[in-house]
Structure formats: C-alpha cells, structure tokens
Structure 1
Amino acid sequence: MWEGSAAVCVKDRYLLVVQQGEKKLWTVPSGEKFEEESYEACCLRELEEETGYLGDIQRSLFVKKGQSFGIDITVHYFRVQITSGEMKIQDPDELIHDIKWVSLKELQTLDLSFPEDLVFLSEYIKQSS
C-alpha cells in the first residue's frame, strides 16, 4: 500500500502544478508519506521540496483511493494557502522538471499524471477566488 498527500494551491484562479518523472507529466505537488509523519506534515513537506513554497493547510478536500501500477494507493488532498518562500526546485529525489501556476484553460491542455483529477481540479479553480 502506498500512502501520500497532495497540496492544492490556488491563487487568483491559478493552480500550482509541477512537472515530474521520466514522462514529464503534470500534477499538483504531492508525494509519499513517511511512516512516522501525518498526512498534513507530508503535504507541507512535499510542497516545500517540490516548489520552494511554505504553506498552511486550510482544510482537507478529499481522500482518493485506488490503484496505480497495480499498487493500492491512498492520497489525501489538502487545500493549502501559500504563506512564504519562492518558486524553486529543490526536490531531493530530482524528479521535478518544472513548476508553474496555470489557468483553468491551460490546465485542460496539460498531460496530467492523474487525468482523473482534471474534473475536480477544474471545478476547484472555478470555485476559488
């Protein structure tokens, strides 16, 4: 079982995304939870590692359960408010290729790591101010 967290950050109707992995696909900042850490701590650690930003968790959005590459996964998605930091790649796993803020229109054109997230993320951008 793989467990992790994802940071959903929206500012002025733009969503923070990272390009990652060998296939260079886009996703919200996310990653695997260490055994001893909470889902919230994982979310904030991954946000900082992948983007350079620090943030505060506003609330839990939802938990996604399913399978990826034949492995059971559980991912906790959190709404995160950016509080400080600056955009920079500092991923210790060296899996991040790019970071950017995207509009709803641009999000719909990206090759996503998890295409099933497109509907949720699109609706979230529309509802955010």
Structure 2
Amino acid sequence: MKSWSGSAGICINEQMEILMVKSYESEGWAVPSGGIEEGESPEECCVREVKEETGYDVKVIERLKVKETTIHDIQVKTYYFRVEKIGESSGINDPDEIIAEADWKSVSELITISHAYPEDLGLILEQLKQQEQN
C-alpha cells in the first residue's frame, strides 16, 4: 500500500482567529498543510508549508497529534502542530499553485464555513479554548 506523510499547522493570532487556507478546486477551508519532503522532519515540513501557503513565518510550539487514515488506498499520516506566527505575511508563494486564499477565521466563522477536513474542527476549537485559558 502506498503511503503519504504530511504536516499541518494550527496558528492562532491575537484576535483568537485561526489561519486557514482554501484551494482552487475546493470550497472547503483547512489549516495549512502539505507533504513531508525527502530529508525533512515533520516540524520542518510544517514551517515550510505554512510559509508557502500563507506567507507567514512560524515557529512550532508543540506537536498536537498524528492523524492516521486511508484515502483512496493510500495510507495517510498527518502530523499536527501548534505554531506561532512571526511577523506579517509576505503573501502566498505556493509552488504547487493550489492555494487560492489564506485568511484568519474567527470561531463564529469556523462554525459556518465549509471544511475540507471536517474532522479537524474539534481539534481546532480545542486549541482555541486552550489559548483563551492561557
């Protein structure tokens, strides 16, 4: 069975909004993510993908979870990290040219927008709740 590994970054700003991206071929929003390249750690992949898809430099705060699932006979393993943005966005610079939009979404928007990965919503909201308590 083929396998694919990737990383995803959950980034929360001072206004308690989550950094989300939307691709051209989907109406659903998702946290920035992408495939781990040869010789790259999951952490390095996360930082690179967030930068490419949103223009933000980020640093990894903690590893949250690993999601394992099978999609079209491919074993998929995604590492989720809590990341913190450094400075402002330099704009989307996605070499794969699949990201149409990057935006900060509030909790009320998160509940109304469509999600590319609905199963991630619980984890995202949990992170927001933790951030509010800190």
Q: Deviations over 1:37-68 (max 9, x none)?
A: 00010000001100110011111011110112
Q: Contact 1:66–1:72 (CA<8 Å) still a contact in 2?
A: yes
Helix, strand or coil at the partner of 1:128: helix
Residue number in structure 1 paired with 2:5: 3
Letter of the structure 1 residue corresponding to residue 116 of structure 2: S
> What SS does structure 1 have at the residue aligned with 2:112?
coil
CA distance in structure 2 between the partners assigned to 1:68 and 1:115 by the alignment: 15
Aligned ranges for residues 31-110 of structure 1 at < 5 Å? Answer: 31-86=34-89, 88-110=91-113
How many residue pairs are counted as aligned between the two chains? Answer: 129
RMSD: 1.3
Percent identity between the aligned chains?
40
TM-score, normalisation: structure 1: 0.94
TM score, norm. by length of structure 2: 0.90
Q: 1:113 to 1:69 in 2, by over 3 A?
A: farther
With over 3 angstroms needed to count, the CA separation of the structure-2 counterparts of 1:73 and 1:15, relative to structure 1, is same
Is residue 16–residue 99 contact of structure 1 (8 Å, CA) maintained in 2?
Answer: yes
Alpha-carbon distance in 1 for matches of 2:72, 2:113: 21
Moved over 2 A (4+): none
TM-superposed deviation, 1:120: 1.3
Q: 2:119 aligns with which of 113, 116, 121?
A: 116
Structure 2: 5+ residue runs without aligned partners? none
